Structure 1
Amino acid sequence: MSKSVITSWQRLLGLLRLDRRDVLQVFYYAIFAGLVNLSLPLGIQAIINLIQGAEISTSWIILVIVVTGGVAFGGVLQLMQIRIIENIQQKIFTRASFEFTYRFPKIKMSELRDYYPPELANRFFDTMTVQKSLSKLLLDFPSSLLQIIFGLVLLSFYHPFFIIYGLLLLLLIYIVFKFTIQKGMNTSLDESKAKYKVAHWIQEVARSLISFKLSGKTSLAVNKNDYLVSEYLESRESHFRILVIQFIQMIGFKVLVTLGLLLIGGLLVFNQEMNIGQFVAAEIIILLVITSVEKLIRGLETFYDLLTSLEKLGQVVDKDLENQEGERPFTETSDITVELENIVFTVAEGKPILQDISLKIEPQSTTLIVGASGSGKSTLLRIIAGLSEPTQGTIYVNNIALNGINTNHYRSFMGQSLIEESPFEGTIQENITFGDSTISQKDLYWALEKSGLIHFVKEQPKGLNTIIYPEGQQIPYTVAKKIVLARSIVKKPKVLLLKDPLHRFDEIEALQIIKFLTNKSNPWALVVVSQDPKWLGHFERILTMEKGKIVSIN
């Protein structure tokens, strides 16, 4: 079933719908503020008429107080709008952060095949653009639109000819939006894509810092950046041309409206169909209308930025998640048997990585998988772990199809140390327990002892509260491997999947850990992928893989 494509407009409406009550309050305040602002010209008109009498009167003083009070009241309404919009901004940031942190661990791996997840996570920075853009739009667009409507209605009371002119004005606004807004949206998306390419390249240079340092007299980093920035500037220039066209239309519109309404107003005064007070009030209304239209046109760039940022956030939130429903059939005392039946795994339309794999993993069994690089060993582990879905075939867990079992429930009974795993930024304890409060200190120190990590922890002044940097930077490679190994065994899983967990370990220490992992007193079925000969002689069976197939079982 194909995924439905959500348009930028639908995303915007969905965003507004989440805070519908707050958005409606902003609109209500905008209506009142618009009415208050338009009462200013009427008050000035009345004041001018009174001043023409050349006498200070009570009515004049009252009108001055009322008009001044109206200005102050309009300011209070704007302040209330700002408070509500600040609340909306905070909610947007909070929602986006939780959406990203909740979704990333649950996104299907097939959805991330063409993406580099850390680079994809950079889309979160578009949240700030959404905050600022939506704030500006909610403040400016409703008030500007209402001022235009109220202003034109008010002008129509001065003379019927203003009605025709008002309709012409609305037609011009429609033309500006109709024929340029989609082009502006497309060029804004192109600009954003080019911007992220530049950001990703800078991120890559920083990630491969040592390689670029040691590369000698090479200018690849700068040359590629020059190429990507040129693409960005070209995209930005295309977008700017659309903005220039809209700005020219706005200037033409201002000239026509100003000329037309000044001429009409002047003729009406000459023909004594309007007095001076009405003429001044009408011109103030005209200026308010022109200013409001200018705000609308100038706000289009902000509008494009908002829609583009929502599209970028959608690149994460639209991705399919793993099955969060399904059965939860296992308990702490359950034995788990995993059976793979005729498994085939293919990436896109390429050659199958796994072909007709059938395998049964019994409780507390030990299995070593060997084979040349590219034979499909790591992919097989990912299939068993539920990280990748087979293209064909079925995985059964205790005779229940895996796709009918809750994914997190299944993984809670598994431990794994795969090649992709590494420490994240956090304390040693957080890296091992992932914040699981059900893990006792006894089990935690048992995992530290068995993985050989206990000596490193004892050497640290802060012990388990020592901060580990991303990907295990600033600690030895083997310590990082031990952290991941301790993480995989701390819950005493029913199935333990390991990919070269003892790479670069001292031979004596490695043999001690191998004897522990393969000991039959452990609760797990052990599956190890490794070419290290130290593992040989410790397993019940050894599977040899070649070109995606199991070619022998010893």
Structure 2
Amino acid sequence: MNNDTNSARPFDPHRLLPAVEYLARVHATEVNAQAFQDALRRIGDPSRATAGTTPARLLATLAAEAGLATATVRRPVADVLADASPSYPWLAFHHTTDGRLETIAVLEHGRRGVKVVVPGSTARPVRWPVASLLEWLRVADTSATVEWLLAEPAAPLSRLRTTPGMARVGPDKRLRALLVGERQTLWVAVVYSVVIGLLSLVVPIAVQSVVNTIAFGSVIQPLVVLTLFVLVALGFSTALNTLRASVVEIVQRSIFARVSTDVTYRLLRVRADAFDRYHGPELVNRFFDTVTVQKSASLLLIDGLSIVMQTAIGMLLLAVYHPWLAVFDVLLVLAMLVIVFALGRGAVTTAITESKAKYALEGWLEQLATHLVTFKSAGGTTYATARAHHLLEQYLDYRSRHFSILIRQIIGSFALQAVASAALLGIGGWLVIERQLTLGQLVASELIVSAMVSAFTKFGKQLEVFYDLSAALDKLGDLIDLPLERGGGEATLPGTGPASLEIQDVQVSYDDDSPPALRLAHLSVPAGGRVGITGPNGSGKSTLADTIFGMRPPARGVLRIDGADQRTLSLRTLREHVALVRSIELFPGSIVDNVRLGRAAISMDDVSAALDAVGLLTDVLALPEGIHTTIQPHGRPLSQGQARRLMIARAIVGRPRLLVLDGALDQIDGPGERERLGDLLFDPAAPWTLLCLTEQPDVLSRCARVVTMRDGTCVDLTMTEKELES
């Protein structure tokens, strides 16, 4: 029996929409179904668009439009049955007898069969026998291999994000949104905590029985049985505590994975203007608050839940003993609420302010490590020290304000412990005298209240953990709220070879209140053209480069790449055809990784050819590990000039159709190096159109046309001798 889910036959891609909507519900994320539908409309003729592919592969291709990260794998059915879980279902597809496309999601396999959902047909999970699943998949047995699709949100923390134009989301709402993604695991932890809370009453109840047994002069046998029962119950409680710790560890790992995945997604798509007001590397340091979120969540789930459950169950038992003890419970709860909310008013705000002061100091220390020459210069050391001391004093002041609230709650907790213990002793003793309470119940009540109030005094530490958690979520919000580049757009740019560039009435501003940084009425670069852009610093050259590369979209006007409106192209497609070379931007990794950038289509021969073209291959091969030598962000062990040539090799290895050099040649001044690179980049046979932003006369002399910019606009357009001759 053959499985036709793997066959590449035409199908209606709109039938994939129920699968997308189902995945949105599973992952509790804001999947953009409208963007997915827009992507479906752009693919044109379904029979042509789906020919040669499978539903799983097409969905994996289009899912990014909907905010999903996907992977297609071929796995035996048996392996999927072993690995599937409700949190991460495995999706498969098949065609019905009348040609319709259907999807099935495998959730889990148990003794009662396989739990599945058929998106678009069954809204709730149903149990199928394994034989029914095999029949649906059209395979003979569980050893058969089927193509499956796995998906997860590309930005798992999208629900924590502040909606543009709305007030900033508070840490309490971010916390609730964060826990939604862990709701299934958290319920397990809550169940464990409830049972552990019940078992915590074993000792007080056992003591009550022992006291009563001794008071009545009973035999030894009940005491032995009671002791064994307590031992078994406490052993079971220990096992549950271990299991709960394991569950909380899973939550910690999940939080770290979700935050790192989300931040990676956002940093790769952040708008350039987001870093006009913030220093990017310093802002990314907020990521380390993920560890605070992990540890705080762990402590609150283990200790916090234990305190809440132990207190609630203990109060319930006291209320059973006597109505007066029920009144005592109510007063105790009111006192706890006063300590938590009334005495703790403003604690979250001061915790956030303290955290901001901490990061201000950390940011300044980062500047000291970055600008060594500046702060080793005359006056630099004095200024750096004075500012560090000022920021430290500011932090200590904010910390003191926060601690003044925290210490109020700590004092209130200990005062409550003293008053509650004494009050219960008095009330309980009176009830014993009045024979409304047994001596054993009094002892048990005292033990219960002592345990509750003692735990509540430790709750002061839990409150500090909660405040740290709130501040950490607020700091992570700085990353989650980063504005993102637009999504969607055409996936292809028609044509091959060098691309033309046309700019009409384009204006770009850095913010709404500032004048335009770029105003271009018209600029046209023919396919294969070699155009130079020059002008003083601040004339708008780099803004023009950013705009062409899609990093700063124009507020008005049209920019066309080979006749296609830049706004209609997906940014991924645009950057596959347009390369921008500016300053040195290297990352810790091998030379080959820095050139390739994960582009699978670029072979080792392509890398070697690009390095040879820029005159680096001989130098690189002379290194101990050759092209696999690890380099640092500043380029070492390469020189600055070699690092700049490596940046050019990275750009040309992908054979871009439009190459933009923003000062990339200006800092290359070795003997014959700039001339050699000029011969390479300005070669008429090169497969790109070249836009060279430079202030070097020898580079401009190679250009067929030179445009001079000032104050964000063209003030002169000069034809060189080459263009006049042509």
CA drift of 1:399 comes to 4.0
Matched, 1:237 2:400: yes
Deviations 1:278-326 (A, max 9, x none): 1101101111221232233331110011111111111111212112322
Q: Which amino acid aligns with 2:314?
A: G
**Residues 534 and 693, structure 2, Cα contact 8 Å, conserved in 1:** yes
Q: From 420, 440, 445, give the equivalent of 1:257.
A: 420
Q: Give the secondary-structure state (helix, strand or coil) at the position aligned to 2:634.
A: helix
The worse-fitting range, judged by mean Cα deviation, of 145-154 and 30-39 is 145-154
**Residues 614 and 676, structure 2, Cα contact 8 Å, conserved in 1:** no
Task: From the two aligned structures, give the one with the greater helix fraction.
Answer: 1
**Residues 40 and 70, structure 1, Cα contact 8 Å, conserved in 2:** no
Matched, 1:366 2:530: yes
CA drift of 1:105 comes to 2.1
Partner of 1:402: 566
Deviations 1:250-290 (A, max 9, x none): 12222221222111001011112112111101101111221
Q: Give the secondary-structure state (helix, strand or coil) at the position aligned to 2:602.
A: coil
Matched, 1:289 2:452: yes
Taking the aligned partners of 1:341 and 1:263, their CA distance within structure 2 comes to 88
Taking the aligned partners of 1:216 and 1:5, their CA distance within structure 2 comes to 40
**Residues 176 and 249, structure 1, Cα contact 8 Å, conserved in 2:** yes
Q: Which amino acid aligns with 2:517?
A: I
Alignment of 1:458-537 (within 5 A): 458-502=621-665, 503-537=667-701
CA drift of 1:95 comes to 2.2
Distance 1:54 1:154, change over 3 A: same
The worse-fitting range, judged by mean Cα deviation, of 185-194 and 167-176 is 167-176
Taking the aligned partners of 1:293 and 1:50, their CA distance within structure 2 comes to 32
Q: Which amino acid aligns with 2:185?
A: D
Taking the aligned partners of 2:680 and 2:380, their CA distance within structure 1 comes to 50
Q: From 343, 355, 358, give the equivalent of 2:506.
A: 343
Q: Which amino acid aligns with 1:397?
A: I
Distance 1:15 1:182, change over 3 A: farther
Matched, 1:164 2:327: yes
CA drift of 1:445 comes to 1.6
Partner of 2:183: 20
Q: Which amino acid aligns with 2:283?
A: L
Alignment of 1:43-122 (within 5 A): 43-122=206-285
Partner of 1:375: 539
Taking the aligned partners of 1:123 and 1:180, their CA distance within structure 2 comes to 29
Q: Give the secondary-structure state (helix, strand or coil) at the position aligned to 2:558.
A: strand
**Equivalent pairs, count:** 553
Deviations 1:491-528 (A, max 9, x none): 01001000222223225221121122111211111001
Q: TM-score if structure 1 supplies the norm length?
A: 0.96
Q: Which amino acid aligns with 2:571?
A: T
**Residues 342 and 356, structure 1, Cα contact 8 Å, conserved in 2:** yes
**Residues 292 and 468, structure 2, Cα contact 8 Å, conserved in 1:** yes
Deviations 1:154-173 (A, max 9, x none): 10111101111211222222
Distance 1:550 1:460, change over 3 A: same
Taking the aligned partners of 2:660 and 2:708, their CA distance within structure 1 comes to 16
The worse-fitting range, judged by mean Cα deviation, of 187-196 and 409-418 is 409-418
Matched, 1:322 2:485: yes
Q: Which amino acid aligns with 1:526?
A: L
Q: From 115, 129, 139, give the equivalent of 2:292.
A: 129
Where in structure 1 do 4 or more consecutive aligned residues deviate above 6 Å? none
The worse-fitting range, judged by mean Cα deviation, of 303-312 and 142-151 is 142-151
The worse-fitting range, judged by mean Cα deviation, of 342-351 and 487-496 is 342-351
Taking the aligned partners of 1:397 and 1:68, their CA distance within structure 2 comes to 77
Q: From 324, 334, 337, give the equivalent of 1:174.
A: 337
**RMSD after superposition:** 1.8
Partner of 1:194: 357
Taking the aligned partners of 2:490 and 2:608, their CA distance within structure 1 comes to 33
Q: Which amino acid aligns with 1:376?
A: G
Q: From 410, 416, 439, give the equivalent of 1:247.
A: 410
Deviations 1:327-365 (A, max 9, x none): 113267366333222111222212321124422333211
**Residues 339 and 361, structure 1, Cα contact 8 Å, conserved in 2:** yes
Deviations 1:450-502 (A, max 9, x none): 11211221211101111111122453110110111111111010010002222
Structure 2: give runs of 5+ residues left out of the alignment: 1-163, 719-726
Taking the aligned partners of 2:284 and 2:495, their CA distance within structure 1 comes to 35
**Residues 323 and 403, structure 1, Cα contact 8 Å, conserved in 2:** no
Distance 1:513 1:145, change over 3 A: same
Q: TM-score if structure 2 supplies the norm length?
A: 0.74
Taking the aligned partners of 2:270 and 2:654, their CA distance within structure 1 comes to 24
Distance 1:435 1:329, change over 3 A: closer
Matched, 1:212 2:351: no
**Residues 326 and 406, structure 1, Cα contact 8 Å, conserved in 2:** yes
Partner of 1:540: 704
**Residues 498 and 689, structure 2, Cα contact 8 Å, conserved in 1:** no
Q: Give the secondary-structure state (helix, strand or coil) at the position aligned to 1:447.
A: helix
Taking the aligned partners of 1:252 and 1:228, their CA distance within structure 2 comes to 36
Matched, 1:418 2:569: no
Taking the aligned partners of 1:332 and 1:65, their CA distance within structure 2 comes to 83
Q: Give the secondary-structure state (helix, strand or coil) at the position aligned to 1:178.
A: helix
The one of the two structures with greater contact order (alpha-carbon pairs below 8 A, sep at least 6) is 1
